[in-house]
Structure formats: structure tokens, C-alpha cells
Structure 1
Amino acid sequence: MQSIREIQLAPYNIEWEKEFTQEADTLTNVISAQILEVHHIGSTAVPGLSAKPIIDLLIVVKDIKKVDTYNQKMEQLGYETKGENGIKDRRYFQKGGNERTHHVHIYEKGHPEINRHIWFRDYLRARPDAAKEYETLKRELAHRYRFEPEKYVENKTNFIHKIDQLALKWRKG
């Protein structure tokens, strides 16, 4: 029987940046021939923001199709291969089973999701008021949907789209 994932937010932890750096170094060694950039994204990349303690890495590669040749190496590192997992031309990996520790999102250079993730993160870093609003929403949803991770994610969607739009305007100056 598979255990149910519980949504638990943790206060911001400065160690998350070190965990990102360590994992980025490990993954760079595995996928070095393809990697162009590695970014820390998601809530653990925003200082001061409470988050599920899962490190999200965004990796930009030269050729997304060649990433599939690394699936076995990723599995040896403890990652579960999820393919596109709902986003065209992405490769997604997760580590830790129901006690997730890392999510890896891999895109080919030029994919629109790259800038969306980075701009979302940067906007929250630059706008503590927006980060606080996001944290308040996440806390409310984590309480309401503690054992329903899909509903937790689904109910953040409108806010995320709002921040995406604000971040796009902000980036354009």
C-alpha cells in the first residue's frame, strides 16, 4: 500500500541553497555533455519564503531528446523518471518517493517555461509583499488540503498565473 503524501511547509532554510548547489554539481557531472545552465527555482529558491522542503532544479540543455539517454544514470542517483509529465518537451524527475527531496525540470534552450520559472522566482525575490501573499495562500491551502497534494497544487494555479503576468510586465520594465 502506497502511503499518502502530506503537504507540510517548512520555514525558509538557508541550507536549501547548499542542497541545490550539491545536487546541481552531481547532476552536472551526470549530464555534462548536454547542460547549458542550472537554476534553483521554486519556493526554496526565495529567501524568507516558507516552502515544502523540496529542491527544484531547472536544467537547460542543448537537445531535450538526448536527455532520455541519461534515465538510467538518473535512476541510479535515486530519481524516478517521469518523462514529460504533462508539459510538452520537458523531462521531469523526482527523488525521494513520498518524502520528496528534489524535483528536476529539464528543458531545451528556448523553451518558454524556462523564463517563466526564472521570472516567477526573481519577481518573488524582488517583491517581498508578493512572496508574503504567496506564503499566506500556501499555508491556507496546506492546512485545507493537507493530504490532497493535487488539490493543493490546483488551488495555487490562479495565483501563480497572476504572478506570471506581473513578472512578465516587471521584466519588460
Structure 2
Amino acid sequence: MRKVEVVPHDRHWQSMFEAESQQLAIAFGDNAIAIYHIGSTSIDTIYAKPIIDILIAVKDIGKVDNRNTQIESLGYIAMGEFGIAGRRFFRKDNELGIRTHHIHTFEEGSAQIDRHLAFRDYLKSHPEAAQAYSTLKQQLAHQFPADMEKYMDGKADFIQQIDIKAGEW
């Protein structure tokens, strides 16, 4: 069972994303259109789980499966759609077994790309919403330190509300 850890923003997260995105651009090849830093580590004012979330927009989602060997050579595990139709999800742990990266891959034109980017950009532009999210995450991590599922469930309503606001924004 993974420990729920939420920590203050680390200024190194952006450079970690940039270094990883360079390697991923090679691994995904010419199918990759854009690579984005998403999730709480991309928002420099809030607490986050220390896991770099990466969104990769691709030309053809079916071709991603053909690149699994290259992506796995970077330390990732291919998880398939992992609960979201049309996605290819990868996760990476460090040598101690601690999760460090997630890759969310969607085909160009997927509403999921717009949703993730709108959520990130909304929180960057609305500090009060970002701080409310940060506070909620800290409270849930304290309340459920060993239950990632309950932590995630506890954020669901807030995320849904921000998704709606970000979509209207």
C-alpha cells in the first residue's frame, strides 16, 4: 500500500519535468505532438504529492502501444487505459520503489487534454481556488495517510467543481 504524502512545492519539479520530457519525446518518437507538465507539481503555490504528472498528446493513440519497449526502457510500467477509455497510462518508481512520475497519453483532439490543461491553468490563475485545493489535499493526507483510495475519493468533488469552473472560464 502506498503512503499518502503531500509536501510543499519543490522548485526542482519543473526541471525534473523538463529533463523527463526530453527523454519521452525520443521514446514516443514522431507520434508525440506536445508534452505538458500537469497536476499539482506544475502549480508552484500549492502542496502536492511528489509525483510529476506528464500529459502527452499524440497523433495516434494506437501507435503508443508499439512504443512500450522504448518507454519502459526509461523505467516506466505500461498500464494500458487504466480506467480511462482512450488513454495510455504509465507509471515510474525510483530504485526505492517510490512513485516519481505518471504519464497520461491521449490522442490529439481528446477532451481529456483540454480538461487537464484547463484545470491546471485555472488553478494557476485563481490563487484562492489553488489554496483551497492545497488545504484539502493536506487535510486528506493527514486523515488518510495510508489509504490512497480514500485520499483520491476525498478530492473528487472538489476536482469536479474546478473542472466545471475551468470549462466555463
Amino acid at match of 1:94: R
Does 72-81 or 154-163 show the bigger shift? 72-81
Matching residue of 1:81: 78
- TM (norm. structure 1) is 0.94
CA distance in 2, matches of 1:100, 1:21: 18
In the alignment, is residue 108 of structure 1 matched against residue 107 of structure 2?
A: yes
Is 1:125 matched up with 2:124? yes
Q: Are 2:21 and 1:19 aligned?
A: no
What is the aligned partner in structure 2 of residue 34 from structure 1?
31
**% identical equivalent positions:** 44
Task: Tell me how far 1:139 sits from its aligned partner.
Answer: 0.6
The whole-number CA distance in structure 1 between the counterparts of 2:122 and 2:9 is 17
CA distance in 2, matches of 1:80, 1:30: 13
Cα deviation digits, residues 100-148 of structure 1 (max 9, x gap): 1000000000111000000000000001100000011101110111100
| 3-state SS in 1 of match to 2:30 | coil
Q: TM-score, with normalisation over the residues of structure 2?
A: 0.96
1:91 pairs, out of 80, 88, 93, with: 88
Instruction: Give the match's secondary structure for 1:10.
Output: coil
The 3-state SS of whatever aligns with 1:156 is helix
Distance in 1, matches of 2:138 and 2:118, equals 23
| Count of matched residue positions in the alignment of Structure 1 and Structure 2 | 167
Q: For the residues of structure 1 that align with 2:126 and 2:72, how far apart are their CA atoms? A: 37
| Residue of structure 1 in register with 2:61 after alignment | 64
Does the 8 Å CA contact 2:92/2:100 hold for their aligned counterparts? yes
Point out 4+ residue stretches in structure 1 off by more than 4 angstroms: none
The residue identity in structure 2 corresponding to 1:140 is: Q
- Distance in 2 (CA, whole Å) between partners of 1:142 and 1:11 is 13
Alpha-carbon distance in 2 for matches of 1:10, 1:32 = 33
Amino acid at match of 1:117: H
1:160 — aligned with what? Answer: 159
Question: Structure 2 unaligned runs (5+)?
Answer: none
Distance 1:78 1:30 in 2: 12
Instruction: Report the residue type matching 1:12 in the other structure.
Output: H
Question: In the alignment, residue 7 of structure 2 is paired with which amino acid?
Answer: A
Cα RMSD (Å): 0.9
In structure 1, the residue corresponding to 2:99 is in which secondary structure? coil
Residue by residue over 1:30-87, the C-alpha shift from the partner in whole angstroms, topping out at 9 and shown as x without a partner, is 1121010111000000011110110000000000000001111111111011000000
